[in-house]
Structure 1
Amino acid sequence: MSNHRRDDSPTITYHHRNERVFEQAGKWYFRTREGVVEGPFENRVGASHRISAYIQMLETQPDDNSKKPPIEAE
């Protein structure tokens, strides 16, 4: 069984909903948890490397709670 509908363009590849890296019209992209699409990349490897760098950047940033002033006791 094919993942394509009869009227779909053969250049678009459909992937499972939870897959972050996808190909569209010969270019590769990735989707963040927030739903932001990053790309295009020339190949899947390039997109995968960029995901790793993106995740590493997020892990080294302080979380939003560290930017908030401390709550004063009443």
Structure 2
Amino acid sequence: MLGQRNLDPQPGTHYRSSRLSAVNGQYFFATREGTLEGPFISRHDAEQSITRYIERMAMADKLLRHSSEHIDNLQRREAIKHNQEL
């Protein structure tokens, strides 16, 4: 599949593969960030955790962007205030 994620510097070919693995009856999933999450008792639990993990990562990204925008706005206000005082 040819595509580009938001963080990729350029488009590339990405091959789909299962992110789930089982080791000694316990289930784990691999993330794009390079972590291995688990163990989970069942495949079903691991699959549900993947969905929750993606939701958490999306929320964290949204909060980080919002915080960065807020800090930028505060810095702009301080710069304007400082320039007005001069």
TM-score tier by shorter-chain length is 0.5 to 0.7
Larger helix proportion of the pair: 2
- Give the Cα separation in 2 of the matches to 1:18 and 1:66: 33
Which position in structure 2 is the counterpart of 1:48?
47
**1:64 to 1:57, Cα distance in 2 relative to 1, 3 A:** same
Shift of residue 18 of structure 1? 2.6
Relative to the length of structure 1, the TM-score reads: 0.60
Structure 2 unaligned blocks of 5 or more: 1-15, 77-86
Alignment of 1:6-21 (within 5 A): 18-21=17-20
Q: Aligned equivalents of 1:25 and 1:55: distance in 2?
A: 25
How many residue pairs end up in the alignment?
A: 58
Identity percentage of aligned residues? 30
* Higher relative contact order (Cα pairs below 8 Å, separated by 6+ residues): 1
Over alpha carbons, which structure has the higher Rg? 2
Listed as ranges, the gaps of 5+ residues in structure 1 are: 1-16
Name the TM-score, length of structure 2 as normaliser: 0.53
